[in-house]
Amino acid sequence: MQQAQSAPVVIENHGRREAVLVSSESFDRFIETTEELDDILAFDEALSEEGENARWDEVKSELGCV
């Protein structure tokens, strides 16, 4: 377990990778990065949709963010 604090530890079963043990900090960074990439993809998909786009200041106003 101490090894996982500095680098991922691969757990194998009969030579096949079964799991990877990482520190909680590494896991948190992985989750944050994945969520950020999901947001970027969703943004790109929204921009590629046909139709009229709303202005950002209008969206913020409608959501009560200003």
In the chain, which ranges are continuous DSSP H helix? Answer: 24-48, 56-62
Identify the pLDDT of residue 48. 85
Q: How confident is the model at residue 36 (pLDDT cuts 50, 70, 90)?
A: very high
pLDDT at 4 over 80: no
Longest dimension (CA), the chain: 58
Identify the pLDDT of residue 27. 96
Give the percent of the chain with pLDDT over 70. 97
Identify the pLDDT of residue 55. 83
Q: How confident is the model at residue 41 (pLDDT cuts 50, 70, 90)?
A: very high
Q: Quick count: other Cβ atoms within 10 Å of Cβ 3?
A: 10
